[in-house]
Amino acid sequence: MPVDELSSTFSALADPTRRAILERLAHGQATVNELAEPFDVTLQAVSKHLKVLERAGLVTRDRVAQQRPARLRGRPLADAADWLARYRQFFEESFDRLEEHLRAVQTADRVELVDD
């Protein structure tokens, strides 16, 4: 059960349909019908995904006549992006170290083969 906001955000992002819904909502609010159209999913499935996104605070629902269009809340996504961006430098440095290590190992192997 994630309790902190970052955990709720990452948990909500852990589904390709939910990410696609967020991408669509980034271009403007949409009803459940509009959201279901481009995806091969039922209205019920979209409603369920919207509930997860709403609980995680990534989406709010308005009330317009009989409709309840969904709208993106960008702030939690920006916070998640910030967390990853902050550590990106370290992640990339850790690649570089690994690549250097692999190159060193491969070079050592070649030297050994030549020596044989």
Q: Which residues bind its own copies (CB under 8 A)?
A: 2, 4, 6-8, 10-11, 13-16, 19, 22-23, 25-27, 71-72, 74-75, 77-78, 80-81, 83-85, 87-88, 90-95, 98
Count Cα atoms within 13 angstroms, Cβ side, for 47: 6
Residue 103 or 115 having the CB closest to its own copies? 103
The C-alpha atoms of residue 42 and residue 53 are separated, in whole angstroms, by 17
Q: Taking the complex as a whole, how short is the minimal distance between the CB of residue 34 and its own copies, in angstroms?
A: 16
Q: Is 57 left (phi over 0), alpha (psi -120 to 50) or beta?
A: left
The residue assigned the tokens 């491969």 is 106
Residue 51 or 71 having the CB closest to its own copies? 71
